[in-house]
Structure formats: C-alpha cells, structure tokens
Amino acid sequence: QLTSTQQTVSVPITDGDIPNLFVSVLLIKGRTSATLEKDGSDPGKPAFRLGYCQLKVENSLKRLAVEVSSDKEEYRPLDQASISVQVNDTAGKPVQAEVTLWAVDYGVLSLTGYKTPDVLTGVWVEKSLQVMNEDSRQNIVSRRVITPKGADEGGGGGMDDGAENKARKDFRVLAFWLGSAVTDAKGHLVTQQKLPEAMTTYRIMAVVQDKAHRFGWGQREIRLSKPILMTPAFPRFLALGDKATFGAVVHSLLKESGTAIVTMKSLTPDILEVSGGTLSVPVPAKGAAEARFEVSTQSTGTARILMTVQMNGEEDAFEMPLSVRVLASPEVVAAYGTATPEAQETLALPQEVLPSVGGLHLELSSTALVGLGEGARYLVDYPYGCAEQRASCALAL
C-alpha cells in the first residue's frame, strides 16, 4: 500500500539479472464513490495503471582481461613461435581459466571483417519483454519448399587448380588451433606452435572462460617474412600442346641491390618441360623484379614445378602444382547386344588417342537390367527426403 505519491521500492539485483531485467509496476485503486453522473459515467469506479521499466545491469564482473603476447613480432617460415596468454579479472588478480587459442591469415579475416568473438555478449544476452510463439501448423497446412531440389551448384571453372593460395607447400590459412588449454594458478599459459610458410600477417586470437562463468578475449598480430621471397605468376592451367612463358616475381627487402639467380625445374618432365632453367635477374634495393621461363606441355596430368632464388646470401623456394588438360569434349559411344550364345563387337580406335583420357568399359550381366545400376544408385542415394520424393523413389524401385 502506497503511503505517498513518490513511493520508493527497493529491487534486489543479483548475478542472474545480468545484463538486464524488467520491473513492472501495477497500481490498483478501489472504488471511491458509488454515485453515478447524469450522463451515466462512473468516475468513482475501480482503476488500475500498469507500467514497465528496463534496468541495465553492468556485466563487468563477468568479464576477464586477456593479454596475448609472442616472443617476436616477425618470424621466418616454419619458425617455432612462443605464444603467451595472461588472464586476470577486473581487479587485476590472476585467474585460472580455459583458453581457446588460434591464428588465422589476416588477409582472409579482412575479407569478411571478422573480429575475435566476444563470448560474454553471446552468453549474457539481453532479455526482451516479449512472448514468442512457434507454431508448426503453417508448415503442414500450406507446405513451403525451403530447400533447392536438384539444384546444380556449379563449379569446374578451373579456379581450384590455379596458383591462388598454393605458393608453397604449407600455406595454411589457419596457422594453428588449440581447442582447449588451461592456464596455471597465476593465469598464465605458454604454448609453442610451428608456423606455416606463408608470407603474410597472422592474427592470434584467444577466447577464455573460467568456472565462475566469466569470459574474455584478446588478440595479437604477427608477421611472417623473409629478406628475399618469390610470389608465383602462374596460369591456372595449361592445355596440351601449349607453349607459355611465366615464372615468379622476386621481392627484396634488403637495403642493397643485387643480382638474383632464379631457377625453375619441372619435377614431372614427362608432363611439362622447362627451357633454360636458370636466369640472372637484377633486383633493386627494397624492390621487385620478374623472372620468366619458357615451358611446353608434353602430356596431360598434374605437373610439379620447383622454383628457387638466391641473392646476397639469402634464398627462397617454393613448389606448386600446375594442371595440364585436354580442352575438348570427350565423345562417348555405347553399344549393347545379346550373346546367343556368342557375340562379337568390332572397335575402331581413333587416331592420336591419348592414353590418359577416356577408356573402354565392358560390362556383362546375366539379366536385362545391365546398365541400370547407376540409375538405381541415384534413387537410393537421392539427397532429398520429403514425403513425395521418398514415395517417388519407392515407385521407381
């Protein structure tokens, strides 16, 4: 019962109210008069008022301070990096916590604007003053198609076989992943991780939590570089019979100029042949120069190319694949027959046939259903499973 027009009510706040709560106030007034007005109105009837107020609860007590550090800022390919994580609470006291630690190529993260996850905002989500209902009858009465049926996802454009992201044998986007590690009682964690061979910047990200359901995150960037390095300038693929000129770009971070000795070697000479495998290329100080070699295709397949560079006591090398294809649509010819009791089929082989493309497939069966195996397998393994499609498969089988 209110005793004044400015009544104060104390609302207890606990950790369970993070990050917000709603306070509802319901005022009820009984009948004050039984007299009715001449127009029939009833001013003395009972009345009530209802109001809501949102209270924001500070979540700093649930946040942990995370500091990620490394023994160096710049590394060489395949170096061993020492990564340290320190976890403290808001008062600066060390906390024993569980850490998830990983490093990703900064260039890939920049494509989507990826940021280190803040788990705190995902766990302690602001509560809404609302009631949400879910009803599945709309999907029964008026069924909607929500998945593509038999859609062709495309592909085969040759990008997967190209030079992108294949400059070295170990060019991982994800440098390392440490799914779960626990700090010591002083909140400290040290781990040794072997780095890839990519010449790029990696962002090390850490997400932590402790037994008190407190969360935090931290990050640090490291660079992988070399005084002399090469980046490939290869085509995505070559066609059988092609003669091309390509190679790599030599980048120098040295303060003095010099002459780079660049070599290109085909590790599969039966597929790809390199002419003049050594070049001397002048490279300016802190500059770049291109080295090109003449190559010719010998047969189809996946060629392996090794390139090296040496200059002023520094060196670099990479190995990568290059696909050699036949740019023609294959011709398929089929013949069927019955052996009663003998059968003979004559084959005329085309001229200049390639042993690595196409072939001969012979299938014998004691039933007339020969050749229907792939169709039956398609029905059994059909990737969509709504009622009408299951019934259609059963009908065909």
Nearest to 86 by CA among 78, 95, 73: 95
**Three-class SS of residue 105?**
strand
Among 61-65, 127-131, 157-161, which stretch is predicted with the lowest mean pLDDT?
A: 157-161
Segment 240-278, tens digit of pLDDT = 889 999 999 999 988 899 999 999 999 999 999 998 889
Bigger pLDDT: 231 vs 191: 191
Rounded distance, CA 386 to CA 137, Å? 17
Q: Are 123 and 215 in contact (CB under 8 A)?
A: yes
Rounded distance, CA 215 to CA 379, Å? 49
Please give the domain boundaries of the chain with CATH numbers for all domains.
15-58 (no CATH), 61-125+163-224 (2.20.130.20), 228-325 (2.60.40.10)
Q: Are 262 and 307 in contact (CB under 8 A)?
A: yes
Residue with structure tokens 């170096």? 79
Mean per-residue pLDDT, 44-66:
84
Nearest to 301 by CA among 358, 240, 242, 350: 240
Quick check: 154 pLDDT over 50?
no
Segment 331-384, tens digit of pLDDT = 788 877 777 778 788 888 777 777 777 788 887 777 766 667 777 777 777 777
Q: Are 306 and 277 in contact (CB under 8 A)?
A: no
